Amino acid sequence: MRSGHLDIPAVLRAPLSATALALTAHVAPAGTWLPGLRRTFLPGLAGLGEPDHVALTFDDGPDPRSTPRFLEVLDRLSVHATFFVLGEGLRRHPELGSAIVRRGHELAVHGWTHSRPWLPAPGRDLREISRAAEEVRRVSGVRPQWYRPPYGILTGGRWAAALRCGLRPVLWSAWGRDWAADATPEDVLATVRGQLYGVGDTILLHDADLSGADRWRPALAMLPELVGGLRAEGLTVGPLADHGLRPGRGRRVSTAVTGRRPEVTGRAPAGIRGGHGPARA
């Protein structure tokens, strides 16, 4: 070994290179978590659909403490939504999954558990996503179309597993940060409004709180005002199935080099915009 230089034996270089490539393939796609990146380059992944439609989606259920309350409010509003469910929760509460479908909503795959993808595990990703998709099919009677990973972290392994299971990954273009400990209905509503651009957005909220702290309450409370504001602007609110997403296509928006909000044709509907800028993703 020369002074100041680590001479790695040739026999070790290939495994190290393979490990580096595996980690890159695992981590690089997770960069799509950045909202500006996916809006600009992968509008379909951002959930940008028909400009006169807003997709309403919920994550982390089903939960008997909270999901029925969301179903009741959505019934009163005559709105259908897409519920990204966890397989283990659906296995424990299939009656809630059946109720979601019976009331005209759509079930989609959020994974089997709400795990963080720290290390590459393509075999585990495939097993868990496939298992969750099968549970959704068993409860709903139809094959699910959509996949959204926990935390929105779409690693290479999870992306590949979703595609092998016939699922299309869809993240979101607006969220409410309703999971924050200090969130209020007013905060959640303002945060969502501050991220709506009137270009066929997909909204992410949560119908369950895995921490057990009932942090779903602010999202539940603000739903009537959110939906009312969208409808007042002539927008239709519904599930991803009605959002006009097609394979390999999406509504593209351009982003200024300065990193400011995307510039789109026309203006965002006045009734759904708030005084807050986009929340930090």
Give the active site residues: 59, 206
Burial of 18 (0-12, 13-18, 19+ CB in 10 A): exposed
Q: What one-letter code names the amino acid at 110?
A: H
Quickly count: other Cβ atoms within 10 Å of residue 28's Cβ: 11
Dist CA 121 CA 216 (whole Å): 31
Dist CA 206 CA 163 (whole Å): 24
Dist CA 24 CA 186 (whole Å): 40
Burial 73-104 (b: 16+ CB within 10 A, else e): bbeebebbbbbbbbbbbbeebeebbbebbeee
Closest CA to 163 of 213, 113, 126: 126
> Within 13 Å, how many C-alpha atoms sit on residue 197's CB side?
30
